Amino acid sequence: MKVCQIEAGDLRRSLSKSGLRIRTGPFICHVQTPFENIADGVQLFYKDFTCESEGFADFHLKLIRPRNLHRVWRPQVSCYLNDDSPFSPLPSDQAFAVFESLLNWSIYTTTYNYLIIHGATVERNGFAAILPAPPGSGKSTLCAALVSRGWRLLTDELTLVSPASGLISDLARPISLKNNSIDVLQDYAPNEVFGPKIYNTIKGTIAHMGPPSDSVSRMHEAAVPGWLIFPKYQAGASTSVAPLPKGQAFMRLSSGLVNYPVLGAQGFEALTQLIDRTDCYNFTYSSLDEAMAWFSELQAPGRQALEQ
């Protein structure tokens, strides 16, 4: 069953009672919550996802109202992952953003069969462009713009690399846009689906852009790593691109990996394989049009070595 086949009232009731199991890429997430803004977000952004009311789940997420005085004058949301509470209670009007963060946290902290890169990944013609970057570097803005121009979304936040195959799994979920990039993207991609602005979060104002239906329907198609591009938004800068030597690319990527130390030798082998397969670049931009033009002219991976 797909989420869009469930009527809005039934979806809220299901979430608030036994919960819903939603398949997101290789994971099944069981979520229980009475919050209507989470139900609304699930209905808007997860409409093309498959779901079940019973069965196995990798993660059990609960987002509930804490039993404290805040519920009277400033309602909050408490969140639980498998009965542990990783975050302090937050204002309940941020509940959908908290749900998204909690799902990311679940994957970060419990997944050991993938190498997890903190970065967005998009795909075109079978090759994936990985965009690893710390918060504030314009990664999500660039990812959302590329998706709006026909690139397939694999992930906005957590790139999952299989150590066995070297392929990247699809984890297409809502893209989290922050602050100025919300208005920028709403102007740049007016046909995409955007959720309401969520104010005063620890990251500022957040709004989500929905994953395209095509990306969600291809959730089981892994992609071949093609390019490793470290993006950096710099206001007023013209687009500049510099090939990044592979040794430096390895060190830069490994320093930001979530579970590289845990995977040990397996992680090292997976990472060297990934770097071997990809053309690596530093990419600075401010104009989305210029950035899109450069990405549209990217040559099949492997040409970089021939040109150097």
Partner 1 sequence: MTAVWRTANLLTKSWPDGVVVYNQDSGNTHLLTPIAGQVLKLLADAPADAPTVARRLAGQIDLDSDLELDYNVASLLNHLDSLGLIESVIA
The residues that touch partner 1, with contacts defined as CB under 8 A, are: 245-248, 250-251, 254, 261, 264-265, 268-269, 272, 275
In what order do the strands lie in the sheet containing 76-81? Answer: 51-52, 20-24, 27-32, 59-64, 76-81, 90-91
Which C-beta is closer to partner 1: that of 209 or that of 249?
A: 249
Which C-beta is closer to partner 1: that of 191 or that of 255?
A: 255
Which run of H or of E encompasses 38? helix 36-45
Backbone φ and ψ of 70, nearest 5°: -55, -30
The span from the CA of 120 to the CA of 169, in Å, is 12
Which C-beta is closer to partner 1: that of 134 or that of 245?
A: 245
CB of 132 to partner 1, least distance (A): 16
Q: Is 146 helix (H, G, I), strand (E, B) or coil?
A: helix
* CA dihedral over 146, 150, 152, 156, signed as positive or negative: positive
CB of 265 to partner 1, least distance (A): 6
Which C-beta is closer to partner 1: that of 99 or that of 250?
A: 250
CB of 262 to partner 1, least distance (A): 9
Token pair for 181: 């990039």
The span from the CA of 233 to the CA of 96, in Å, is 27
CB of 242 to partner 1, least distance (A): 13
Which C-beta is closer to partner 1: that of 69 or that of 265?
A: 265
Q: How far from chain centre, in Å, is Cα 19?
A: 23
CB of 271 to partner 1, least distance (A): 9
CB of 281 to partner 1, least distance (A): 14
Backbone φ and ψ of 143, nearest 5°: -60, -45
CB 225 within 8 A of CB 161: yes
Which C-beta is closer to partner 1: that of 39 or that of 271?
A: 271
